[in-house]
Amino acid sequence: MGSTFHKLRDDIENGILTGDFAPGARLDETQLAERFGVSRTPIREALMQLSAIGLIEFRPRRGALVADHGPKYVFEMFEVMAELEGMAGASAARRHTPEDKTQLLNAHLRCQEAAANEDTDAYYYENEAFHHVIYAASQNSFLSEQCAFLHRRLRPYRRLQLRVHNRMKASFDEHKQIIEKILAGDAPAARESLLAHVKIQGDRFSDLIASLEKIKAKATQGP
């Protein structure tokens, strides 16, 4: 097999994204090397890549820490994500091909199935696929890459939300609006739909944090 450092990078990245390596945690190179059965060299190269995309931070002579940008930063990421998704939606409305149309409809159908079965895990997966189809339909490969990257980066924060309330049904209804606007070629409407669709996740994340802070405050204040 060819170079293994892609796999290593993805494994560590996945560990971070799934919370296996918590924000602020130190990433000991020797430990990682043992854990993955390789020497420190490829581990370091993987860590360097992760530091370049902001997932970890190198403190000089003190090793790598999992980036711990507080909730404000995460909310900012949602804001940017919303804007980029809106742009992708507008671009897709203007430039989608017939193949894109069938892809969109298929992805939407699979979301519908998952929603009907109330299978949040399946919906989670199909929702991701749905959004990726929109990215591709924008016909802007750089935008598509940026969206995919941010989408991935925000995955752990989105994951928290699908189960609460009945976000899944609401999400699906929003998808329906989005797909209509895109296929109708209504770029401004598609942009607004997607903007709102993503922004609501940032808002919910903020709400979640706010309530957690409140609980924490009570706990430290109380008996």
Partner DNA sequence: TTATAAATTATTGTATACAACATGTTTGAC
Partner DNA sequence: GTCAAACATGTTGTATACAATAATTTATAA
> Which residues of the chain form contacts with a second copy (CB under 8 A)?
2-3, 5, 41, 44-46, 48-54, 58, 60-61, 69, 73, 76-77, 79-80, 83-84, 87, 140-143, 145-146
Residue 87, binding choice from a second copy, DNA, none, Cβ under 5 to 8 Å by partner class: a second copy
**What is the chain's alpha carbon radius of gyration, rounded to the nearest angstrom?**
20
Nearer to a second copy, 13 or 126 (CB): 13
Residue 29, binding choice from DNA, a second copy, none, Cβ under 5 to 8 Å by partner class: DNA
Question: Which string of DSSP letters, residue by residue, matches 131-184?
Answer: HHHHHHHTT-HHHHHHHHHHHHHTHHHHHTTSSSTTHHHHHHHHHHHHHHHHHH
Q: How far is the CB of 52 from DNA (least distance, A)?
A: 14
Compute how many other C-beta atoms are within 10 angstroms of the C-beta atom of residue 159.
14
With the C-alpha atoms ordered 177, 183, 184, 190, is the resulting torsion angle positive or negative? positive
Residue 24, binding choice from DNA, a second copy, none, Cβ under 5 to 8 Å by partner class: none
Nearer to a second copy, 37 or 70 (CB): 70
DSSP 166: T
37, HSE (Cβ side, Cα atoms, 13 Å) = 2
Q: How far is the CB of 4 from DNA (least distance, A)?
A: 4
Binding-site ranges for DNA (CB under 7 A)? 1-5, 26-30, 37-42, 44-45, 58, 60-64
